[in-house]
Homo-oligomer: A and B are copies of this chain.
Amino acid sequence: MMYLLNGKEYPCPIELAVSVFAGRWKISIICQLLQGKKRYGELKKNITGVNHKMLAEQLRELEEAGIVKREVYPVVPPKVEYELTELGKGLGPVIDYLREWGEHFQTDATGESLSTANGS
């Protein structure tokens, strides 16, 4: 039994799952889209630090993985909206669990109150 994602085979479902959001900006994107449908520009604005190429690339990969649905409106100027598929929404609880576990490493040593950027 194998697990198939984007033409790549994984012997283990866990490794596949991790590969889905191991990309540099994918978590941020998924967190954004868990809040609902968003335009490309909104994502770009909300995810601090991401550049144009990266955002487009990671979105395409998420789309190919069946996590994200892309909707193109044939207007000028172009308008493109992204939202999670049902499969993608299934990541909600996974993300919650990861957040919960990650919070063990919390520190307020820095006086800075940066909050959790990028909608996470």
Contacts and interface: CB of A to CB of B under 8 A. Distances in A.
B97 A13 contact: no
A105 B12 contact: no
Given A87-B104, A105-B5, A11 B98 contact: no
A118 interface: yes
A13 B21 CA distance: 14
A102 interface: yes
Copies of this chain in its oligomeric complex: 2
B12 A116 contact: yes
A117 interface: yes
A99 interface: yes
Contacts of A11: 114-118, 120
Which 9 pairs across A and B sit closest by C-beta, in order of nearness? Answer: A13-B102, A17-B102, A12-B120, A17-B98, A11-B117, A16-B102, A4-B107, A13-B103, A3-B105
Interface of A: 1-5, 9-18, 21-22, 27-28, 31, 87, 90-91, 93-95, 97-110, 112-118, 120
